[in-house]
Amino acid sequence: MKDEFNKTRQRTLQYWFNDGLTEIAFGILCLVMSLYFFALKVTPERSLLSNLLNAGLSLVIIGGTLLSRQLILVTKARLTYRRTGYIAFPQKRSGRWVSALLAMGIAALVAFLIAQEPGSLVWLPAITGIIIAFAMLIFGLRTGLLRLFLIGILSLLIGGALSLVGIGDILGLSAYYGALALVLGLSGACTLHAYLYDTRAEEPRNGE
């Protein structure tokens, strides 16, 4: 019975990934990160804009995450609710704080490394790839969705490849996030296409 209960739990967790919208939103966030790091690279050092960009990394991550979530909710309302329904998960307050602290910790670590000697920055894409791959592994284990594992593997390969060929530091991060945005966008778009093909919008009836 525990196995059936866990299977039901897993199916509900898949709800956030069945329509591909979460991957598309995460892909957009990665694109923003890519553009941010590219802007950071091309902006003259010690300029006002460079200082603002350096200080704004946390804002970009946290603000981007919040906006992505809102984008997912609004798009799901238009596409998903009428096709496969609506569910809301229990929001654990401690979970939100942990996620926010983790995001800020990662941002602080990256900002700290950027402020260090250029030589230490070559492994940034690889480190980022490992972090994202770990997150994908957790999502994949919770939902049982194979493509999340594949995205995690690609994250490792992209990050590792960029670091090994010497395209590290900020430009490497820009390239990493750009490549990841492409992967997520393609994965999300294919999933969304399949989802729209397999489902149709239901009209609400009286009494339901």
Partner 1 sequence: MANEFNQLARKMANVDRLIHEPARLMIMTILSVVDEADFLYLQRETELTRGNLSSHLAKLEEAGYIHIEKTYREKIPLTLCSLTNSGREAFTAYRNQLKHFVQNDENHS
Longest distance between any two alpha carbons in the chain, whole Å: 66
Q: To 10 degrees, what angle do helices 57-79 and 48-55 make?
A: 60
Residue of 89, 116, 146, 197 interacting with partner 1 (CB under 8 A): 89
**200 counts as binding partner 1 under rule CB under 8 A:** no
Residue of 42, 74, 190, 194 interacting with partner 1 (CB under 8 A): 74
**By the 8 A CB rule, do 172 and 122 touch?**
yes
Closest by CA to 199, choosing from 25, 9, 15, 44, is 15
| Distance, CA of 84 to CA of 144 (rounded, Å) | 19
Stretch in the footprint of partner 1 (CB under 8 A) among 78-86, 121-129, 145-153, 185-193: 78-86
**197 counts as binding partner 1 under rule CB under 8 A:** no
Residue of 50, 60, 84, 156 interacting with partner 1 (CB under 8 A): 84
* Minimum CB–partner distance for residue 101 and partner 1 (Å): 23
What is each CA distance from 65 to 20, 29, 68, 99, in whole angstroms?
Answer: 17, 7, 5, 11
**204 counts as binding partner 1 under rule CB under 8 A:** yes
Residue of 46, 93, 200, 205 interacting with partner 1 (CB under 8 A): 205
Residue partners of 66: CB distance under 8 A and separation at least 6: none
Q: What dihedral do alpha carbons 22, 26, 150, 165 form, nearest 10°?
A: 170
Residue of 52, 55, 73, 101 interacting with partner 1 (CB under 8 A): 73
Residue of 44, 46, 90, 146 interacting with partner 1 (CB under 8 A): 90
Residues found near partner 1 in the complex (CB under 8 A): 1-2, 4-5, 8-9, 11-12, 15, 73-74, 76-78, 81-82, 84-91, 202, 204-205, 207-208
